[in-house]
Amino acid sequence: MAKVAFIGLGVMGYPMAGHLAHRGHKVTVYNRTQDKAEKWVAEHGGRHAPTPERAAEGAEFVFCCVGNDEDLRSVTLGRGGAFKGIAPGAIFIDNTTASAEIARELAHEAHAHRFCFLDAPVSGGQAGAEKGQLTVMVGGEPKVFEKARPVIECYAKMVGLMGPVGSGQLTKMVNQICIAGLVQGLSEGINFAQKAGLDVEKVIDVISKGAAQSWQMENRWKTMTEDHYDHGFAVDWMRKDLAICLDEAKTNGALLPVTALVDQFYGEVQAMGGKRWDTSSLMKRLQRFK
């Protein structure tokens, strides 16, 4: 079993770190809010550290799951940052959904200090994290990936190497682009069914067996019809992700007209008070129009 550090105990990181501990790894955690770190240790064992640097000291694998590029730069390169404590030969595995640019920047810093870096954003949401059933999209060198893969699999159902550093983040962007259009389409379909006087449950039961089937349909149609959005992946976080996608598209020349439109719709949901609502709350926006 490995000596592991985990930085960031949010709705994703908390259960992910728990799975590492339950598989027998020796886990040291760091969280900006110490109370949460203490709670995690009481629940899962291990220990907590006062800084990312202290958490990373002596670890073979250092995991990180924070909010955005700025947070990531702070916990790695800032005062008391993890990169000051990582030993040569260790592997830093970043599960944050961030830009490909910062992944390459941190990989360069890691190389200069003789340790390894993988960008490894995840998909599957809070439920996937709690069940240890996340999909992990990894960018980095094949030899480093193969060394880290058995440890990453502690919280994953699928782990794939997508290419060099940055490829994991680029793949996560593809994931979010697909989800954005899909959730809007599902919202429109359910709203249409309701306006047409159809039994939505019967409609979903039939079309979910055909080409329209999706994870969002299976897991969100009922809460959407019940006007329940206090769960899942927050609109604020989705807009952060879509901003990354739209910025990257400016660089690579990809056209994202639907993604840009759905991002605007999410802005309207935020204005309705839905910053922390699940992304399926696009349905609520449609229901404003009678």
Q: Cα–Cα distance between 22 and 99 in angstroms, integer? A: 31
The Cα–Cα gap between 76 and 111 comes to: 14
30 CB-contact burial (10 Å; exposed 0-12 / middle 13-18 / buried 19+)? buried
SS3 30: strand
Q: Give yes or no for a contact between 53 and 75, defined as CB atoms under 8 angstroms apart.
A: no
Q: What is the pTM of this model?
A: 0.95
Count the residues in the chain: 290
What residues does CATH 1.10.1040.10 cover in the chain?
A: 170-286
Residue written as token pair 């690579």: 252
CATH label, 3-163, candidates 3.40.50.720, 3.40.50.300, 3.40.50.620, 3.50.50.60: 3.40.50.720
For β-strands 134-139 and 91-94, DSSP reports them as unpaired
Per-residue pLDDT 10s for the chain (290 aa) are 999 999 999 999 999 999 999 999 999 999 999 999 999 999 999 999 999 999 999 999 999 999 999 999 999 999 999 999 999 999 999 999 999 999 999 999 999 999 999 999 999 999 999 999 999 999 999 999 999 999 999 999 999 999 999 999 999 999 999 999 999 999 999 999 999 999 999 999 999 999 999 999 999 999 999 999 999 899 999 999 999 999 999 999 999 999 999 999 999 999 999 999 999 999 999 998 76
Residues of the chain with CATH 3.40.50.720: 3-163
Place of tokens 């349909």: 217
pLDDT of residue 290: 64
Q: Which residues are catalytic?
A: 172
Query: 170-286 has which CATH code?
Result: 1.10.1040.10
Q: How far apart are CA 188 and CA 192, in angstroms?
A: 6
Q: What is the DSSP letter of 84?
A: G
